[in-house]
């Protein structure tokens, strides 16, 4: 069954260029659709420190999707892994999720930091992050994501 969804908003301020690393320290603004949502649709959101934001790799093309196993970022030092072991624009629906820190709510404008989406990105869902809904038990992963993402949240110099 296909799912048809409309964006709830768009990233209107923040980083403008696509990059693999150096996302730290960037403030962004998510503008929710003022024609669809009343201001009270965000009532109470300001009490939360972090959000869950589902967004679309807007600049990606369906031609970018790759189903086969490949080394992350094309680096042969890291093992070839399948599509569902990646978190990039080459995934089937080209969707991503981020967990930005909410700085403030200004009407239907959500000012955040640590959102790794660029200006013009379509946002499909915004919700508060509940600790109780986070991972339960130990979190395990291979070593390559830590190596690959060592500079991901570093400030751009």
DSSP 23-76: -BT-EEEEEE-TTT--GGGGTTGGG-SBEEEEEE-TT--GGG---S-B-GGG-T
Q: What's the confidence (pLDDT) of residue 5? A: 95
Mean pLDDT of the chain: 95
Contact 93, 3 (CB under 8 A): no
Note the pTM of the prediction, 2 decimals.
0.93
**Residue range 82-108: mean pLDDT, rounded:** 95
Does 151 have pLDDT greater than 90? yes
Does 157 have pLDDT greater than 80? no
Q: How far apart are CA 73 and CA 14, in angstroms?
A: 24
Does 123 have pLDDT greater than 90? yes
Q: How far apart are CA 81 and CA 61, in angstroms?
A: 21
Q: How far apart are CA 63 and CA 127, in angstroms?
A: 30
CA 45, distance to chain mean position in Å, is 18
How confident is residue 156, by pLDDT bands cut at 50, 70 and 90? confident
CATH topology of domain 9-148: Elongation Factor Tu (Ef-tu); domain 3 (2.40.30)
Closest by CA position to 114, among listed 53, 42, 43, 48? 53
Give the rounded percent of residues in the chain with a pLDDT score beyond 90.
Answer: 94
Provide the residue ranges of all domains of the chain, joining segments of one domain with +: 9-148
Q: What's the confidence (pLDDT) of residue 20? A: 87
Give the pLDDT confidence of 74-89 residue by residue, as tens digits. Answer: 999 999 999 999 999 9
Q: How far apart are CA 121 and CA 123, in angstroms?
A: 6
């Amino acid at each position: 069954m296909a799912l048809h969804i409309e964006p709830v908003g768009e990233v209107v301020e923040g980083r403008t260029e696509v990059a693999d690393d150096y996302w730290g320290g960037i403030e962004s603004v998510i503008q929710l659709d003022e024609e669809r949502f009343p201001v009270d649709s965000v009532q109470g959101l300001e009490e939360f420190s972090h959000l869950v934001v589902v967004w679309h790799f807007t600049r990606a093309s369906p031609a970018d999707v790759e189903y086969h196993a490949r080394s992350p970022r094309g680096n042969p030092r890291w093992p070839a892994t399948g599509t569902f072991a990646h978190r990039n624009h080459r995934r089937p629906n080209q969707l991503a999720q981020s967990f930005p820190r909410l700085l403030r709510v200004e009407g239907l404008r959500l000012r955040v930091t640590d959102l790794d989406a660029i200006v013009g990105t379509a946002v499909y869902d915004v919700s508060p992050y509940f600790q109780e809904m986070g991972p339960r038990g130990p979190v395990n992963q291979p070593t390559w994501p830590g190596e690959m993402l060592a500079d991901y949240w570093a400030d751009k110099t």
